[in-house]
């Protein structure tokens, strides 16, 4: 049976904006208050999705969330009509209000952790939405993320959906951004690498000092248990706290894996030699390529500003691998020089392809942040909601939908405009019909 790795990219929502919400994420902080272009952002994302589909890859789409999040604003005490809720929140608690307007669900690497059926005890694909507790704006996502995942992967025979972990920083979980799977073939049992920033229940262990560690060891262990993974196929790795303090807020900002390749910066992990020995031992005898980028070639700061490691490494139908990189990598001399010589090195990566996802990059979201990987068999793919899979028709339909509903300019003041809320709800309601998702949003469950 054929096996695929399907990338499910997040469709950028109509309120995409720059609010400086993520302490520890350098791009988010430095672009706070910039004017955004939601239409362009959505189209940049769609172009990347379509390009991968045209390369012969299987490509999916995950719907965005409803923002501003009126339900969250009501939960914290704003009352009256929706327009009043918006006006009061914007006036009385402007920072909280901005957090409730973020389109951050576009970064679906943070939507969930996914374990393919070849790795799990019951032979189903397991999904655990990330609780994203460390940032208030992101902690609003997991319930609707769960709805969207269930509407996309509905067959109980093939898919198991867990509730997100307890909503507390001790179980801070950022999903697939801190999870990589190595395997010789997508359909064979692989080694799942869970990368954490701190041990929540043991404060003597190393931890970053300046910026938060969003992912805990205890969260990683919980997800591995929930998914029924075999300890022999799991490695827990601590991220180097020094790089978190330099802006590496997720592991996928400093390392990425695909099949038998692990591409990472020299400073990415703690105790690198011993963890990589464990990875190799659990992987077995088949060849494994550790591509370590030394600081002398690329500094941590350059890795953070260009997102060299937030690239997608994909296996093309022809059999070799390609790196999907943001154009920022081309614009930086040392990163560009590194990538130019990479295809000539003795590794499976033979091509580099560049994409402009600058609207997302300005909030700290590169190509890999925008996608959730799901390794699937042919049968599992056939059981997936077909209206979420990218093809010429869906691409045309979603572009028209964006043209019809999205603005090309959004500043902080626009977010309090009740018209934007209505535009957004109308757009999402139509999207649920295009993608046959049913009622996944709160506003659809409580009619106006």
| CB closer to ligand SUG out of 32 and 275 | 32
Which residues contact residue 45 at a Cβ distance below 8 angstroms, ignoring those fewer than 6 apart? Answer: 9, 10, 11, 12, 106, 357, 360, 370
Interface positions, 314-333, toward ligand SUG (CB under 6 A): none
| CB closer to ligand SUG out of 190 and 366 | 366
Q: Spot the catalytic one: 192, 369, 380, 412.
A: 369
Nearest distance, CB of residue 123 and ligand SUG, angstroms: 28
Residues 173 and 110: beta-carbon distance below 8 Å:
no
Nearest distance, CB of residue 33 and ligand SUG, angstroms: 10
Rule CB under 6 A: choose which of 6, 11, 12, 19 binds ligand SUG.
19
Rule CB under 6 A: choose which of 46, 177, 182, 322 binds ligand SUG.
177
Is 183 known to be catalytic? no
Nearest distance, CB of residue 252 and ligand SUG, angstroms: 5
CA distances from 38 to 63, 104, 229, 381, 403 (A): 15, 12, 39, 30, 10
Number of residues that bind ligand SUG (CB under 6 A): 22
| CB closer to ligand SUG out of 262 and 372 | 372
Residues 262 and 290: beta-carbon distance below 8 Å:
yes
Stretch that binds ligand SUG, among 54-62, 75-83, 102-110, 381-389 (CB under 6 A): 102-110
Q: Spot the catalytic one: 5, 174, 328, 380.
A: 174
Is 250 known to be catalytic? yes
Beta partners for residue 5, in sequence order:
375
| CB closer to ligand SUG out of 21 and 389 | 21
Residues 282 and 230: beta-carbon distance below 8 Å:
no
Beta partners for residue 255, in sequence order:
264
| CB closer to ligand SUG out of 25 and 255 | 25
Interface positions, 110-129, toward ligand SUG (CB under 6 A): 110
Helix (H) or strand (E) holding 389: none
Nearest distance, CB of residue 23 and ligand SUG, angstroms: 9
Return d(Cα 8, Cα 62) in angstroms, integer.
6
| CB closer to ligand SUG out of 194 and 395 | 194
Is the alpha carbon torsion for 364, 397, 415, 93 positive or negative? negative
C-alpha 434: how far from chain center: 23
Three-class SS of residue 265?
A: strand
Does residue 369 belong to the site contacting ligand SUG (CB under 6 A)? yes
Nearest distance, CB of residue 336 and ligand SUG, angstroms: 21
Does residue 263 belong to the site contacting ligand SUG (CB under 6 A)? no
For residue 253, give the nearest of 64, 60, 57, 109 by alpha carbon.
Answer: 109
| CB closer to ligand SUG out of 298 and 381 | 298
Looking at 30-82, which runs of residues are DSSP E strands? 59-62
Please compute Rg for the chain using Cα positions.
21
Stretch that binds ligand SUG, among 6-14, 17-25, 311-319, 419-427 (CB under 6 A): 17-25
For residue 135, give the nearest of 28, 255, 34, 210 by alpha carbon.
Answer: 28
Nearest distance, CB of residue 107 and ligand SUG, angstroms: 4
Residues 326 and 340: beta-carbon distance below 8 Å:
no
| CB closer to ligand SUG out of 18 and 395 | 18
Rule CB under 6 A: choose which of 4, 18, 196, 354 binds ligand SUG.
18
Q: Spot the catalytic one: 161, 250, 265, 405.
A: 250
Is 101 known to be catalytic? no
Interface positions, 195-254, toward ligand SUG (CB under 6 A): 250, 252-253
Site string for ligand SUG, 347-366 (x = CB under 6 A): ----------------xxx-
CA distances from 406 to 138, 227, 420, 442 (A): 22, 38, 9, 21
For residue 360, give the nearest of 60, 108, 180 by alpha carbon.
Answer: 108
**What phi and psi values does residue 196 have, to the nearest 5 degrees?**
-125, 160
Q: State the alpha helices, DSSP H only, in 153-216.
A: none
Beta partners for residue 106, in sequence order:
none
For residue 433, give the nearest of 392, 396, 401, 395 by alpha carbon.
Answer: 401
Nearest distance, CB of residue 27 and ligand SUG, angstroms: 8
Does residue 94 belong to the site contacting ligand SUG (CB under 6 A)? no
For residue 197, give the nearest of 176, 180, 212, 175 by alpha carbon.
Answer: 212
Nearest distance, CB of residue 131 and ligand SUG, angstroms: 13
Helix (H) or strand (E) holding 438: none
Stretch that binds ligand SUG, among 58-66, 100-108, 195-203, 259-267 (CB under 6 A): 100-108
Q: Which residues are annotated as catalytic?
A: 174, 250, 369
Residues in touch with ligand SUG (CB under 6 A): 18-22, 25, 28, 102, 104, 107, 109-110, 135, 138, 177, 250, 252-253, 363-365, 369
């Amino acid at each position: 049976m054929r096996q695929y790795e399907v990338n499910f990219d997040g469709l950028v929502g109509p309120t995409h904006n720059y609010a400086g919400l993520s302490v520890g994420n350098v791009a988010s902080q430095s672009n706070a208050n910039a004017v955004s272009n939601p239409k362009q952002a959505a189209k940049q994302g769609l172009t990347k999705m379509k390009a991968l589909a045209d390369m012969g890859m299987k490509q999916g789409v995950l719907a965005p969330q409803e923002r501003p999040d009126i339900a969250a604003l009501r939960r914290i005490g704003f009352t009256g009509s929706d327009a009043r809720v918006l006006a009061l929140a914007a006036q009385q608690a402007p920072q909280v209000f901005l957090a409730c307007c973020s389109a951050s669900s576009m970064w679906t690497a943070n939507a969930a952790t996914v374990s393919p059926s070849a790795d799990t005890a019951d032979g189903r694909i397991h999904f655990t939405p990330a609780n994203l507790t460390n940032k208030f704006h992101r902690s609003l996502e997991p319930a609707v993320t769960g709805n969207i995942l269930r509407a996309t992967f509905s067959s109980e025979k093939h898919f198991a959906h867990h509730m997100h972990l307890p909503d507390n920083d001790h179980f801070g979980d950022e999903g697939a951004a801190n999870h990589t799977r190595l395997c010789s073939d997508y359909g064979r049992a692989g080694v799942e690498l869970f990368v954490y920033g701190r041990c929540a229940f043991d404060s003597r262990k190393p931890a970053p000092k300046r910026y938060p560690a969003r992912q805990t060891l205890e969260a990683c262990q919980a997800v591995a248990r929930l998914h029924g993974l075999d300890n022999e196929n799991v490695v827990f790795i601590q991220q180097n706290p020094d790089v978190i303090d330099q802006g590496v807020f997720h592991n996928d900002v400093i390392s990425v894996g695909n099949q038998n390749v692990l591409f990472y910066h020299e400073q990415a992990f703690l105790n690198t030699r011993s963890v990589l020995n464990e990875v190799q031992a659990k992987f077995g005898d088949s060849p494994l390529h550790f591509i370590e980028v030394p600081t002398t070639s690329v500094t941590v700061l350059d890795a953070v500003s260009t997102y060299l490691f937030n690239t997608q490494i994909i296996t093309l139908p022809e059999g070799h691998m390609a790196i999907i990189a943001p154009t920022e990598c081309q614009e930086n001399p040392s990163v560009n020089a590194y990538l130019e010589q990479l295809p000539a090195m003795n590794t499976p990566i033979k091509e580099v392809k560049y994409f402009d996802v600058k609207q997302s990059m300005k909030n700290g979201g590169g190509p890999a942040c925008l996608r959730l990987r799901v390794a699937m068999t042919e049968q599992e793919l056939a059981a997936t909601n077909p209206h979420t899979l990218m093809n010429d028709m869906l691409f045309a339909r979603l572009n028209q939908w964006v043209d019809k509903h999205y603005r090309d300019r959004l500043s902080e003041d626009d977010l309090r405009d009740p018209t934007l809320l209505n535009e957004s709800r109308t757009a999402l309601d139509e999207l649920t019909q295009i993608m046959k998702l049913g009622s996944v949003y709160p506003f659809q469950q409580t009619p106006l």
